[in-house]
């Protein structure tokens, strides 16, 4: 990568290692992974189940820390941040979309989307207006007062996408966003992600088994036995 490209990096992982201890057994999930992501890029992580895709996304989003190596995102070395600053990074700089949605079951769609904005201490009126606009954008303007249990899987994923966007993140991380959806709904979610990415000019990193989604990426990297290779 030349110097011009390096100046346009939104994220750089260097020598990242991550292991988990299961009783007496040590599972090496990531081994000396290096990864550079350009601002505005759409990058797909592929690999078999258990290859480390979700772990890598969690590290990139500051949800976990590597055992060794560094991750720099938006000019911040995540391992050097105190708890307060790391929480702010996760809230302001990163949007996270999970395969299992992770919506609050006792909150309705609008309240779920508002939540990260309020955690970021944005005014309630501003959060409500932004959340309503986002839910309308993802086709759920008539579901604002529905709780997750009253929504289909595709509708819950749309709420999760709106929630991830409420604080206008520069980096959107999605973990198997179509993994729990049928083919038709998966296509709709893929189209929605592509539209939003182009509209907002954000960087999108997706861990997926979905070949249709991978074909749309600017770049695909593979995780195999904890090591990363380019497509």
Q: Does residue 82 belong to any structural domain of this protein?
A: no
Among 209, 157, 205, residue whose Cα is nearest residue 50: 209
Q: Does residue 133 belong to any structural domain of this protein?
A: yes
Strand-pair partners of 95: 172
How far is 141 from 131, CA to CA, in rounded Å?
10
Q: What is the dihedral of CA 8, 60, 202, 152, to 10 degrees?
A: 170
Q: Does residue 143 belong to any structural domain of this protein?
A: yes
How far is 195 from 200, CA to CA, in rounded Å?
9
For residues 35-42, average pLDDT:
96
- Tally of domains within the chain: 1
Q: Does residue 24 belong to any structural domain of this protein?
A: no
pLDDT digits (tens, 9 = 90+) for 174-186: 999 988 888 999 8
Q: What is the pLDDT of residue 3?
A: 47
pLDDT at 7 over 90: no
**What percentage of the chain reaches a pLDDT higher than 90?**
77
Place of tokens 């090591």: 227
Range of the domain at 148: 105-164
pLDDT digits (tens, 9 = 90+) for 196-213: 888 888 999 999 988 888
- Confidence class of residue 6 from pLDDT cuts 50, 70 and 90? low
pLDDT at 4 over 50: no
Q: Does residue 40 belong to any structural domain of this protein?
A: no
Q: Quickly list DSSP for the chain.
A: --HHHHTTEEEEEEEEEEEEEETTEEEEEEEEEEEEEETT-EEEEE-STTSSHHHHHHHHTTSS--SEEEEEETTEEGGG--HHHHHHHHHHTEEEE-TT----TTS-HHHHHHHHHHHTT--HHHHHHHHHHHHHHTT-TT-TT--GGGS-HHHHHHHHHHHHHTT--SEEEEESTTTTS-HHHHHHHHHHHHHHHHHHT-EEEEE---HHHHTT-SEEEEEETTEEEE-
Q: Does residue 60 belong to any structural domain of this protein?
A: no
pLDDT digits (tens, 9 = 90+) for 88-136: 999 999 999 998 899 999 999 999 999 999 999 999 999 999 999 999 9
How big is the CA angle at 39 (ends 119 and 214), to the nearest 5 degrees?
95
Q: What is the pLDDT of residue 22?
A: 85
* Edge-first strand listing for the sheet containing 94-97: 94-97, 171-175, 203-207, 42-46, 219-224, 227-230
The mean pLDDT value of the chain amounts to 92
Q: What is the pLDDT of residue 226?
A: 87
Structure tokens at 85: 């600053």
143 dihedral zone (left: phi>0; alpha: psi -120 to 50; beta): alpha
pLDDT at 154 over 60: yes
């Amino acid at each position: 990568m030349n110097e011009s490209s390096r100046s346009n990096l939104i994220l750089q992982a260097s020598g990242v290692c991550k292991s988990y201890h299961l009783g007496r057994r040590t599972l090496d999930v990531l081994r000396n992974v290096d990864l550079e992501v350009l601002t505005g890029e759409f990058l797909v992580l592929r690999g078999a189940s258990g290859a480390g895709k979700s772990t890598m996304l969690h590290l990139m989003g500051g949800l976990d820390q590597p055992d060794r190596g560094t991750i720099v995102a938006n000019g911040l070395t995540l391992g050097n941040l105190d708890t307060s600053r790391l929480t702010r990074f996760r809230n302001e700089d990163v949007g996270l979309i999970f395969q299992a949605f992770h919506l609050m079951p006792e909150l309705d769609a609008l309240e779920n989307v508002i939540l990260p904005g309020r955690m970021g201490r944005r005014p309630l009126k501003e959060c409500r207006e932004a959340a309503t606009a986002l839910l309308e954008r993802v086709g759920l303007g008539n579901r604002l007062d529905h709780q997750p249990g009253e929504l289909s899987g595709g509708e819950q994923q749309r709420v999760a996408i709106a929630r991830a966007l409420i604080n206008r993140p520069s980096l959107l991380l999605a973990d198997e966003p179509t993994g729990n959806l049928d083919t038709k709904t998966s296509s709709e979610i893929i189209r929605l992600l592509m539209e939003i990415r182009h509209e907002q000019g954000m960087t999108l990193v997706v861990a997926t088994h979905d070949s249709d989604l991978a074909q749309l990426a600017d770049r695909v990297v593979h995780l195999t036995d904890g090591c990363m290779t380019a497509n």
